[in-house]
């Protein structure tokens, strides 16, 4: 189980530098652009936020659904930035974005129009780096790389 939570994936310096840039830029955009504003507008959002009409989520109250989204966007982003438990955090973020794209924005168009309005595009654009981080791990420059996952650590 420790290997699942803390395996940092590759140890290549160039790839790890690219993963560091991807992790920090992606997670900061999600945290600053979506997570923190949801915390600041929590009172207003509880009145307007609607859980998706998908089966298990339709049974959740709006407060529970909103708190789950905030946890994924704030806590998940923070963990991805640090590179701590990166793969589970990336899974939580990707899962939240899948529910947002295909649950909350199910009837919305794929691409955002110039006039605004809801669309699947932004959520799908957050799914892509989350899945890339989920598959690759955090890389050498992360807290996960400091945690030994087996008796003999990989040198590559």
Q: Which of 65-74, 102-111, 140-149 has the highest mean pLDDT?
A: 65-74
pLDDT at position 36 over 90? yes
- Percent of the chain residues topping a pLDDT of 70: 91
Neighbours of 133 (CB within 10 A): 26
6-34 pLDDT, tens digit each = 677 777 889 899 999 999 999 999 999 99
Q: How far apart are CA 3 and CA 127, in angstroms?
A: 23
Measuring CA to CA, which residue among 150, 130, 146 is closest to residue 4? 150
pLDDT, residue 106, reads 81
């Amino acid at each position: 189980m420790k290997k699942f939570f803390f395996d940092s994936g590759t140890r290549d310096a160039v790839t790890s530098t690219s993963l560091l840039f991807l992790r920090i830029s992606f997670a900061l955009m999600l945290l600053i652009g979506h997570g923190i504003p949801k915390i600041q507008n929590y009172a207003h959002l509880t009145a307007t936020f609607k859980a998706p009409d998908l089966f298990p989520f339709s049974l959740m109250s709006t407060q529970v659904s909103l708190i789950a989204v905030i946890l994924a966007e704030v806590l998940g982003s923070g963990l991805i930035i640090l590179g701590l438990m990166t793969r589970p955090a990336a899974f939580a973020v990707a899962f939240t974005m899948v529910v947002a794209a295909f649950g909350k924005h199910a009837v919305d168009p794929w691409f955002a129009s110039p006039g605004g309005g809801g669309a699947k595009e932004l959520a799908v654009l957050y799914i892509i780096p989350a899945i890339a981080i989920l598959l690759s791990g955090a890389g050498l420059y992360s807290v996960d790389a400091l945690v030994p996952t087996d008796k003999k650590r990989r040198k590559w």
